[in-house]
Amino acid sequence: MSDINMTIKQAYDLTFSCLRQNGCNEENAAAAAFRLTQAEADMCQAHGLFRLPWYVGGVKSGRVNGSSKPSVKRLAAAVVKVDGDGGFAPLAQQVAHSPLADCARENGIAVLALTNMFHIAAMWPEVEALAEDGLCGIAVTASYPYVAPAGGLRALFGTNPMGFSWPRPDGPPMVFDQASSAIARGEIQIAARDGRQVPFSAGIGPEGQSTTDPEVVLQGAQLGFGGYKGASLAMMVELLAGPLIGEFLSFEAEADDAGLGGPPKGGELMIAIDPARFGDAKEIIAHGETLFQEVLKQEGTRLPGDRRFQSREITRHKGINIPASLYEEIVSLRG
Amino acid sequence: MSDINMTIKQAYDLTFSCLRQNGCNEENAAAAAFRLTQAEADMCQAHGLFRLPWYVGGVKSGRVNGSSKPSVKRLAAAVVKVDGDGGFAPLAQQVAHSPLADCARENGIAVLALTNMFHIAAMWPEVEALAEDGLCGIAVTASYPYVAPAGGLRALFGTNPMGFSWPRPDGPPMVFDQASSAIARGEIQIAARDGRQVPFSAGIGPEGQSTTDPEVVLQGAQLGFGGYKGASLAMMVELLAGPLIGEFLSFEAEADDAGLGGPPKGGELMIAIDPARFGDAKEIIAHGETLFQEVLKQEGTRLPGDRRFQSREITRHKGINIPASLYEEIVSLRG
């Protein structure tokens, strides 16, 4: 299958116009197109344009509010709540950034409850944005029931990623964003699409059997990373991004969807910490650098996120590639 | 080797008197004895009386202040700092509990910087205490350089555990406390003491070689759980429990020790969240229960921490067992 090459700007324009033609207002289309394109720019296709037909399906089915107006509320001195008004996550996340950052600067730490929105995708953009503002960021979100609890055989937890960022004085921050599952859902879906196998650690079949067939894992259950410890993290994420903020647990999100398709509804919890309220921020950040230098002294290492920043440099010059079939699907959806 | 059986009260009295005879004042001896005995009660020997000779060594060498008076300071509206005054962690943790809990109730979320203290051990007691007060707790700490970074071969990160707790309406809270390493340091040390093997995933030898010999792993490097993801978590913990709160990174703690032995000096970061500032706390906690019920519906599952609570019930009636050699060592240290 051949690929189509385009610039980041072209990818953005294509995505934006496709969303505009399918029921999104300008703010929502711009925020979502920015996010999907950003994932392509970072060469993370599982969060990129691959998702666009799914997004369009969500608006078309009437589940997602393409004209959402997210609202901001302070629940307590250090608790910010943003209600996404039933729209896509990117607009709500964009609206939430400054209130969260300001609240963290004011109190030293602040927590954000992001609710009532659809498809929280990769979270590195929002934690990266906090670190660009000199803050340390943490983000967690649940999704659909894909991962078996420790000792169990049936999917219950979402792949439940955790994102983390730490500011660096020169260049981009240290950022990671990793699923509690052994591998990301999107990677299994892409392996299935491309006819590739997945490692045994990725998941089990519907009867609990070992398999490397991504289709069988998609029918069965994914597994947590590192065994029961990944499953514990997945449970923590469920509680923080679900009950605590008044949002769905993963299995409830699936029930809410009721087979309509489109991205899952759910919530995200973010924590921002301001190093400047703990001491001299410059010294604190410089101290973090001594750790990074020790890591990079060892052969074979790199910092989490570095590959993504390198990808971003490459795509800025060379553009991105998407499968021709996906390109045609998007063009046809755009009409 | 035969074991000595004793009641929890007898174990506490033995530990308390041993610490009192070796340079700890009453407050410090009581707090540390309570913690070490609590670990035995939960049948977690790696954090139990096994550590006592090491504690005594710390005071005897003059590194640990056996008469520490921890002080509490509010750095920002939602940031509490407790300086441990160079004593053992348990007293500082005890002093810090109420200021952190009160600050979380006031602001919805609060962060605690625990600094200048020795040997942060298992963290489930402090996160469990927060959940007993109706709060959700998170705790992280670094230690000595034991774990290799992703792709690297030399130990740099601590085993860097993360503890988490969530309140439950009836009975004890949901609590986990797990190392970022594949297995805990104490478990490798106990395997070495008892002549048992460890899994290949536990670590590598000094030249990066695969091994199941715990002695070789202790000379080489432990590995993160689930590969690079555990190593990412270990790095996050280093940054939060080190630079952010003005404390040592793991490799700096080792340099500080300078071969004197005794427990490592370091810091701990805790976050407490008050569900009551997000909505109706009773509803939020009840919502969490629906997740736990779904987990327990599956055969072969249990909640994190449940085994520990069961152990606590058993030892309450049957007492604890420690190796005769350890008992004799403690009695001789007590003099």
* A83: three-class secondary structure by DSSP: strand
Burial label for B225, CB within 10 Å (0-12, 13-18, 19+), is: buried
Task: Report yes or no: B155 and B124 within 8 Å, Cβ to Cβ.
Answer: no
Chain A residue numbers touching B169 (CB-CB < 8 A)? none
> Do A148 and A233 share a domain, yes or no?
yes
**pLDDT higher than threshold 90 for residue A120:** no
pLDDT range class, residue A262, cuts 50, 70, 90: low
Interface A–B counts its CB contacts (< 8 A) at: 208
Domain that holds residue A42: 3-60+307-334
Per-residue H/E/C for B208-276: CCECCCHHHHHHCEECECCCHHHHHHHHHHHHHHCHHHCCCCHHHHHHHHCCCCCCCEEEEEEEEECHH
Domain contains B33: yes
What's the predicted TM-score (pTM) here? 0.96
pLDDT digits (tens, 9 = 90+) for B172-226: 999 999 999 998 888 898 899 999 999 998 999 999 999 999 999 999 999 999 9
> Do A16 and A140 share a domain, yes or no?
no
Work out the minimum CA distance from B137 to partner chain A, whole angstroms: 11
Assign residue B51 the CATH number of its domain. Answer: 1.10.1530.10
Chain B residue numbers touching A207 (CB-CB < 8 A)? none
> Do A236 and A124 share a domain, yes or no?
yes
Task: Report yes or no: B272 and A121 within 8 Å, Cβ to Cβ.
Answer: no
Predicted pLDDT of residue A268? 97
Contact A277 B76 (CB under 8 A): yes
Work out the minimum CA distance from B272 to partner chain A, whole angstroms: 11
> Do A173 and A250 share a domain, yes or no?
yes
Predicted pLDDT of residue B312? 96
Residue of chain B whose Cα is closest to the Cα of A275: B244
pLDDT digits (tens, 9 = 90+) for A168-179: 998 899 999 999
Domain contains B163: no
> Cα dist. B217→A238, B46, B184, B192, B198 in Å?
35, 17, 12, 10, 9
Question: Which of A156, A225, A271 is facing B226, going by the closest CB pair?
Answer: A225
Contact A111 B153 (CB under 8 A): no
Pairing of strands A79-88, A109-118: parallel
Task: Report yes or no: B19 and B28 within 8 Å, Cβ to Cβ.
Answer: yes
Residue of chain B whose Cα is closest to the Cα of A298: B152
The rounded distance, in Å, linking the Cα atoms of B254 and B260 is 10
Work out the minimum CA distance from B76 to partner chain A, whole angstroms: 6
Overall average pLDDT of the B306-328 stretch: 96
Contact A78 B76 (CB under 8 A): no
Backbone angles phi, psi at B140, to 5 degrees: -140, 150
> Do A249 and A229 share a domain, yes or no?
yes
Domain contains B41: yes
Domain contains B24: yes
A224, β-bridge pairs: A181
> Cα dist. A181→A168, A216, A225, A307, A329 in Å?
28, 16, 5, 21, 30
Chain A residue numbers touching B187 (CB-CB < 8 A)? none
Domain contains B309: no
**pLDDT higher than threshold 90 for residue A119:** no
Chain A residue numbers touching B245 (CB-CB < 8 A)? 278
pLDDT digits (tens, 9 = 90+) for A295-324: 999 999 999 999 999 999 999 999 999 999
Contact B295 A152 (CB under 8 A): yes
**pLDDT higher than threshold 70 for residue B1:** no
Q: How many Å separate Cα A22 from the centre of its chain? A: 23
Assign residue A84 the CATH number of its domain. Answer: 3.30.1370.60
Contact A243 B107 (CB under 8 A): no
Chain B residue numbers touching A238 (CB-CB < 8 A)? 291
Q: Which of B53, B164, B36, B167 is nearest to B91 (CA)?
A: B36
> Do A98 and A138 share a domain, yes or no?
yes
> Do A128 and A267 share a domain, yes or no?
yes
ipTM field: 0.95
Chain B residue numbers touching A294 (CB-CB < 8 A)? 156, 249, 251
Work out the minimum CA distance from A3 to partner chain B, whole angstroms: 31
* A58: three-class secondary structure by DSSP: helix
Domain contains A204: no
Q: Which of B132, B92, B144, B149 is nearest to B269 (CA)?
A: B92
> Cα dist. B276→A268, A300, B298 in Å?
18, 47, 30
Overall average pLDDT of the B29-53 stretch: 94
> Do A248 and A123 share a domain, yes or no?
yes
Q: Which of B313, B266, B277 is nearest to B58 (CA)?
A: B266
**pLDDT higher than threshold 80 for residue B76:** yes
* Tokens describing residue B141: 């700490």
pLDDT range class, residue A184, cuts 50, 70, 90: confident
Residue of chain B whose Cα is closest to the Cα of A104: B78
Task: Report yes or no: A87 and A93 within 8 Å, Cβ to Cβ.
Answer: no
Give residue for tokens 């700490």: B141
pLDDT digits (tens, 9 = 90+) for A194-225: 999 999 989 999 999 999 999 999 999 999 99
> Do A48 and A77 share a domain, yes or no?
no
> Cα dist. B44→A218, B41, B179, B186, B315 in Å?
38, 8, 14, 10, 11
Domain contains A51: yes
Across chain A, mean pLDDT equals: 94
Predicted pLDDT of residue B262? 65
Contact A77 B76 (CB under 8 A): no
Burial label for A190, CB within 10 Å (0-12, 13-18, 19+), is: middle
pLDDT digits (tens, 9 = 90+) for B227-259: 889 999 999 999 999 999 999 999 998 888 777
Burial label for A40, CB within 10 Å (0-12, 13-18, 19+), is: buried
DSSP state of A264: P
pLDDT range class, residue B268, cuts 50, 70, 90: very high
Give residue for tokens 């605590």: A244
pLDDT range class, residue A261, cuts 50, 70, 90: low
Domain contains A214: no
Contact A278 B246 (CB under 8 A): yes
For chain B, what percentages of helix, strand and coil (3-state, to nearest 5) are there? Answer: 50, 20, 30
Chain B residue numbers touching A232 (CB-CB < 8 A)? 164, 176, 178, 304
Chain A residue numbers touching B137 (CB-CB < 8 A)? none
Question: DSSP string of B49-116?
Answer: GGGHHHHHHHHHTT-S-TT---EEEEEETTEEEEEEEEEEHHHHHHHHHHHHHHHHHHHSEEEEEEEE
**pLDDT higher than threshold 80 for residue B101:** yes
Q: How many Å separate Cα A243 from the centre of its chain? A: 19
Give residue for tokens 């509320």: A73
> Do A113 and A92 share a domain, yes or no?
yes
Across chain B, mean pLDDT equals: 94
Predicted pLDDT of residue A185? 84
The rounded distance, in Å, linking the Cα atoms of B200 and B185 is 15
Contact A151 B301 (CB under 8 A): yes
> Do A118 and A46 share a domain, yes or no?
no
* Tokens describing residue B115: 């600094």
Last residue of a domain, one of A235, A256, A277: A277
Contacts of A335 (CB under 8 A, 6+ apart): A21
pLDDT digits (tens, 9 = 90+) for A47-100: 899 999 999 999 998 989 999 999 999 999 999 999 999 999 999 999 999 999
> Do A131 and A243 share a domain, yes or no?
yes
Structural domains in chain A (count): 2
